[in-house]
Amino acid sequence: MNKLAIQNKSSDDLPTGKTGAVELYMQGLGKVAQNAARVLASAETEQKNFALEAIASKLLGSAQALAEANSVDMEAGKARSLDAALLDRLELTPARIQGMVDGLLQVVELPDPIGEISDLQTRPSGIELGKMRMPLGVVGIIYESRPNVTADAAGLCLKSGNASLLRGGSEALNSNLAIAKCIRQGLLEARLPADAVQVVDTVDRAAVGAMLVMNQYLDVIIPRGGRGLIERVANESKVPVIKHFDGVCHVYIDKAADLVMAEKIAFNSKTNRYGVCNAMETLLVHSDIAAKVLPGLAMRYKKEGVELRGCERTLEIISDVFAATEKDWYEEYLAPVLSIRIVNSLDQAMNHITQYGSSHTDSIVTEDKGVADRFLREVNSSSVMVNASTRFADGFEYGLGAEIGISTDCLHVRGPVGLEGLTNQKYVVLGNGQIR
């Protein structure tokens, strides 16, 4: 083999895509993260909790440094004319620092999912078969603007025994690095590898592309941000992805609904908070009771300032309603806007949800158990509800503690992703000499 051929061979061994400075830097982070993950996987609960508490204490003690780093980001953001909503998300107020601290201390209280053997059974061969929860390994998180995600995500990954590689928005780099410094100090105090949590220290956008092909080092990538980011990650990633697309959530008021309850749930699901993924975006109403329930509800919505967009039959029943277009049924408004559609049957309601929904959260209001059971079974969303507000689809409400996101995927984990979603289960076999 001549020298050129050897060179070709070795360049074949490099990861695909460009391998500029950023790619090599990212691979370096991945490599040390993988080593740290091996240590973290077998760390005791007490040690992980000690680290979480130490990090919380460092954050509290670094309020001044965090504020200074954040003000650099805020000034730069204003100079770049970032919009007000983005600047608001970027700001690290004392309350938000306290929020990160409280979040970490809540994670301390959560049970450690790792290492327990469950479901032990004796097989006919005599072996005992069980399952043990394990960390996934190295979790890559790609997120935007909010610096508090750095501490929240690091805490959940740490408690579940995963190393994490965090790539925040370039506009928050100084804030994220200041938080990362506290995290490293806390890890070292707990005698855990400081590399178990790493914040990517570059604003080069190529860092994201590099992460997406690092399947030799990353076990999963979780994107958190706008649809554009999530679509890019989903399309380009060679690393498995846990993702959260839209929350186009529905409430369906069945003809057998308790109408007082229906009004309460439909009102709460829309108006409790507008900018959240588990808010209702489309209300479906059975034609038999539409004329009874819609006028009162419409009045309450309007009083609250909610703009209504209805199907043709809705327009016949209530006034001051815009005509909904086909596009409305797909829309995640995240705003005081609601689309309303009257349907003739449970099947029509479920077909609407299948066609236009996003598999996030859908709720039926009905007193008919048979109808409720069909809805529960046949609607394939990550959370399916009977007689409850869609707003309950949430990590805290489900008792998972904090959540690292809400999965609208079909594999691995659905709905709010807490500690358990960051783990897998391996088989364990206990024998006393069994052979086949």
Sheet holding 361-365, edge to edge: 322-323, 307-310, 337-343, 280-286, 249-253, 361-365
The DSSP bridge pattern shows strands 307-310 and 337-343 to be parallel
By the 8 A CB rule, do 391 and 278 touch? yes
Q: Give CA–CA dist 363/343, Å, rounded.
A: 15
By the 8 A CB rule, do 393 and 383 touch? yes
**Nearer Cβ to a copy of itself (49/361):** 361
In this chain, which stretch among 52-60, 116-124, 195-203, 280-288 interacts with a copy of itself, using CB under 8 A? Answer: 116-124
Residue window 124-153: x/- pattern of binding to a copy of itself, with contact defined by CB under 8 A: -x-x-x--x-x-xx----------------
- Continuous H helices in 91-222: 94-109, 148-159, 173-189, 206-212
Residues in 257-316 at the binding interface with a copy of itself, rule: CB under 8 A: 258, 261, 264-265, 267-269, 272
Rounded to the nearest whole angstrom, what is the least distance from the CB of residue 241 to a copy of itself in the complex? 8
Q: Give CA–CA dist 81/115, Å, rounded.
A: 49
420 touching a copy of itself, by CB under 8 A: no
Residue of the chain from 38, 78, 205, 227 that contacts a copy of itself (CB under 8 A): 38
389 touching a copy of itself, by CB under 8 A: yes
Rounded to the nearest whole angstrom, what is the least distance from the CB of residue 307 to a copy of itself in the complex? 21
Rounded to the nearest whole angstrom, what is the least distance from the CB of residue 91 to a copy of itself in the complex? 26
Rounded to the nearest whole angstrom, what is the least distance from the CB of residue 374 to a copy of itself in the complex? 8
In this chain, which stretch among 65-73, 79-87, 301-309, 393-401 interacts with a copy of itself, using CB under 8 A? Answer: 393-401
**Nearer Cβ to a copy of itself (78/369):** 369
Q: Give CA–CA dist 230/46, Å, rounded.
A: 35
Q: Give CA–CA dist 41/422, Å, rounded.
A: 12
**Nearer Cβ to a copy of itself (315/372):** 372
DSSP 402: S
By the 8 A CB rule, do 434 and 144 touch? no
Both tokens of residue 24?
């090599």
Residues in 363-382 at the binding interface with a copy of itself, rule: CB under 8 A: 363, 374, 376-378, 380-382
**Nearer Cβ to a copy of itself (2/432):** 432
Question: Which residue type sits at 368?
Answer: D
Rounded to the nearest whole angstrom, what is the least distance from the CB of residue 20 to a copy of itself in the complex? 22
Both tokens of residue 264?
């309460």
Question: Which residue type sits at 68?
Answer: E
408 touching a copy of itself, by CB under 8 A: no
In this chain, which stretch among 34-42, 45-53, 90-98, 148-156 interacts with a copy of itself, using CB under 8 A? Answer: 34-42
Q: Which helix (H) or strand (E) holds 340?
A: strand 337-343
Both tokens of residue 40?
């973290």
Interface residue list for a copy of itself (CB under 8 A):
38, 41-42, 115, 117, 121, 123, 125, 127, 129, 132, 134, 136-137, 219-220, 235, 238, 240, 242, 258, 261, 264-265, 267-269, 272, 354, 363, 374, 376-378, 380-389, 391-393, 397-399, 409-412, 414-416, 424-436
